Amino acid sequence: MNDEIGGNQRRARFQALCQSLRPDLLRFAFWLSRDRALAEDVVQESMLRAWKARDSLLDETAAKPWLLTIVRREYARTFERKRLPTVSVDELVADEEPMLAAAEEQNISDVRAALMKLPDEYREPLILQVLMGYSTAEIARELELSGPAVLTRLFRARQQLRAACGEDLSQDPQE
Partner 1 sequence: MMDHTQYRSATMADPHDPDPDLRAHRESCAECRAFTEQLLRFEARLERALLIDIPTKPVVLPFAGRAQGPRRWMAMAASLLLALVVAAGVWLTLPQRSLAAAVVAHMAGEPDAWQLTDVPVPDADLNGVLKDSKLRLKPAAGVVSYASSCSFRGHKVPHLVVQTQSGPVTVMVLVHEAVRNPKQFDEQGYRGTIVPVPGHGSIAVLMRDASSRSGDVERIAARVSDSIVWTP
Rounded distance between C-alpha atoms, residue 60 and residue 88, angstroms: 39
Site for partner 1 (CB under 8 A): how many residues? 52
Query: For partner 1, which stretch binds (CB under 8 A), given 46-54, 57-65, 71-79, 82-90?
Result: 46-54
Measure Cα distances from 104 to 63, 107, 123, 164 in Å: 32, 9, 22, 19
Query: For partner 1, which stretch binds (CB under 8 A), given 15-23, 61-69, 74-82, 87-95?
Result: 15-23
The yes or no reply on residue 92 touching partner 1 (CB under 8 A) is: no
45: part of which helix (H) or strand (E)?
helix 36-52
- Which amino acid would we find at residue 29? A
State which residue, 86 or 93, has the beta carbon closest to partner 1: 93
Q: Which residues contact 137 (CB under 8 A, 6 or more apart)?
A: 147
67: part of which helix (H) or strand (E)?
helix 63-82
Write out the residues near partner 1 by the rule CB under 8 A: 4, 7-8, 11-12, 14-16, 18-20, 22-23, 26-27, 30-31, 47-48, 51, 99, 102-105, 107-108, 111-112, 115, 127, 129-131, 136, 150-152, 154-155, 158-159, 161-162, 165, 167-168, 171-175
